[in-house]
Amino acid sequence: MQFERKKMVGWYQVKQLATVGLKSVISTLFGNYADRRELQAALSGPEVYDFSHQEDIWFDYVADVADGFDSTFSVATLLAKPQLSVGGHELSRGELLVMGGDEVYPTPEIHQYDNRLRGPYQSAFPACEEGKEPTLFAIPGNHDWYDGLTNFLKVFCQERNIGKWKTQQKRSYFAIKLPQRYWIWGIDIQLNSEIDQPQKNYFKDIAAKDMQAGDKVILCTAEPSWIFKQRSRKNESYERLKYFENKFIHQPGFKLVATLSGDLHHYARYAEQSSEEGLQRITAGGGGAFLHPTHNLSDHLDELKGEDLHLQAAYPAKQTSRKLAFNNLLFPYFNPGFALFLGLYYLLLAWVMETDTEYGELSLMVKLSHAPHFMEAITDIFRVLIHGPSAFFLSVTLIVGFTWFADTNSSKSHIVWATGLLHGFVQLATGFLLIWLFAYINLNLLGLPLISLTQVLLFILEMLIAGSVIGGMVMGGDLLIASLLLGIHDNEAFSSIRHQHHKNFLRFHLTPTALIVYPIGIDRVVEDWKQVSSPDQLPVVFAGSQVKAHLIEDPVVLHTIPQSAKRKASTLSR
């Protein structure tokens, strides 16, 4: 298929912020009234996807995939390779590919799925030996849910291929039967809400009819609620996950081997240290979206009741993550649209403040030009705010906006509100400082008349350029301090720099004796992809530098299968 190569999403574009914010509000308000999962259940039975006929199987897990072309295509290229050599290991392409949420960014229009997911994956995997096509399963993340799953169902639940990966699922959740009495369960948690009753019935029926005590489950969910619970005691998603695990996995006598999630765009493996084969909770959201930091990950998740989870590995390393955070000082460079918005806001504030005063000797600009330092100018500015409702409203709006921007989901809510409020006042003070500075320069030092085209145009240019740069740097400095010193605003700080490197995915190997996971890392995605096919040739073919992969950590043995259990399973199968 023909598609448009997309750049990384600019999350701080004003239009983008408004669009995503509006869709998020609408989907949250009306999600329960337009829940298509009930319709899915009515149209299909509790189907099990059976891959248990063989003793040995490879399968892959990737999440948060469809953002910029370079990152998405680099990961898809590795997933499509028949053999991948990393760390002295020869790894076969997965017979299954599980996508763990957020299969499109920023919103789930069909053209976004085509340009950011289906097109790149088609080009990465255009051909395959007949009968050897791997199967693709996907669970939706919050970005897939913004349209109530309308396009997710079209892409993943109508047996349409994505490249040579073929889709089979009929619902937004699934159960896959693997060899050696292993299962993959993919659950749909909608927009961080209760799991719907038809979905509960689906897993309950499968547990009763197709499983037996002692079966082992790999659970895929759309967000790492164990990390969110550590960050905020108010977060309830972990309790909902635990309820599902206890009710549908532990109580029937199954063993939960690992929980996999994306949503955070890094690699982080937590494990119980009380036993050699304790529960593993793994975040692997490195399929293509901007990088999330690791430096604020807790070494021990002590907010989780009944679990003793410790951080075993993180990618990128915490030290690397901290260094990357300093890119926020270049906020105006990475986010010119938002920086320009700040410059325009300062300019509008200056215009309104000036029109709230009389011209001539009583003009605010004239008064500010006679103030030798900023502290003296503050008095004149304060008088205008007291007597000018328009200027007062704009000032309060700026403060409230940055206070509302604060990361209020953090458990450090009192610190968060204080820093948000402080940031708002600093942004306002920056605007006032620039207004005074350029009034002083233009009218006093340069001697330009207030009412002159030269002065007006110069003032506009000064406010736009300096306001954009300095206001943007204040924004970036706030995000840097919040992330490095306060441990908050991780999403905001790293979405601003749109770092497309440090990608990851998981490759699993289930053998008759063990379940092994190979965490694959890509330090730098390839950026020199060139289209080498003719404009009318399909699929589109690209060539570029080799994508270099490595093992994030040594292969992790999630579970070993005793020979006695193997013989028992063989007897049961006969």
pTM of the model: 0.90
Same domain for 389 and 475?
A: yes
Same domain for 149 and 74?
A: yes
Residue with tokens 């300062």: 346
For residue 565, the SS3 value is helix
Are 468 and 343 contacting, i.e. CB atoms less than 8 angstroms apart?
A: yes
- DSSP H helices, 164-267, are 197-210, 225-231, 237-245
Taking the C-alpha atoms of residue 239 and residue 237, their distance in angstroms, rounded to an integer, is 5
For residue 57, the SS3 value is strand
Residue 426 placed within a domain: yes
Residue 178 placed within a domain: yes
Same domain for 60 and 77?
A: yes
375 phi/psi in degrees, rounded to 5: -65, -35
Q: Which of 472, 494, 516 delimits the end of a domain?
A: 494
Same domain for 310 and 346?
A: no
Q: Which of 477, 494, 511 delimits the end of a domain?
A: 494
DSSP-derived pairing of the beta strands 514-522 and 503-510: antiparallel
CATH number at residue 85: 3.60.21.10
Q: Which of 433, 467, 494 delimits the end of a domain?
A: 494
Residue 257 placed within a domain: yes
The whole domain housing 23 covers 14-316+502-573
Same domain for 412 and 511?
A: no
Same domain for 404 and 432?
A: yes
Residue 5 placed within a domain: no
pLDDT tens over the chain, length 574 residues: 789 999 999 988 877 766 666 665 555 555 544 555 566 655 566 689 999 999 899 999 999 999 999 999 999 999 999 999 999 999 999 999 999 999 999 989 999 999 999 999 999 999 888 888 999 999 999 999 988 899 999 999 999 999 999 999 999 999 999 999 999 999 999 877 778 889 999 999 999 999 999 999 999 999 999 999 998 877 889 999 999 999 999 999 999 999 999 999 999 999 987 555 688 999 999 999 999 999 999 999 988 888 889 999 999 999 999 999 999 999 999 999 999 999 999 999 999 998 867 544 468 898 899 988 898 889 889 888 888 889 999 999 999 988 887 755 555 667 778 888 899 999 999 999 999 999 999 999 999 998 899 999 999 999 999 999 999 999 999 999 999 998 888 999 999 999 999 999 999 999 999 999 999 999 999 999 999 998 888 889 999 999 999 999 999 998 776 654 444 444 333 3
Same domain for 484 and 522?
A: no
What domain count does the chain have?
2
Residue 2 placed within a domain: no
For residue 14, the SS3 value is helix
Same domain for 276 and 361?
A: no
Residue 8 placed within a domain: no
Same domain for 341 and 455?
A: yes
**Using N-to-C axis directions, what is the helix angle for 413-439 and 453-484, rounded to 10°?**
160
Residue 60 placed within a domain: yes
Of 236, 54, 223, whose CA–CA distance to 142 is shortest?
Answer: 223
Same domain for 146 and 271?
A: yes
Q: Tell me, what DSSP letter sits at residue 136?
A: E
Same domain for 385 and 311?
A: no
Are 501 and 525 contacting, i.e. CB atoms less than 8 angstroms apart?
A: yes
Same domain for 249 and 178?
A: yes
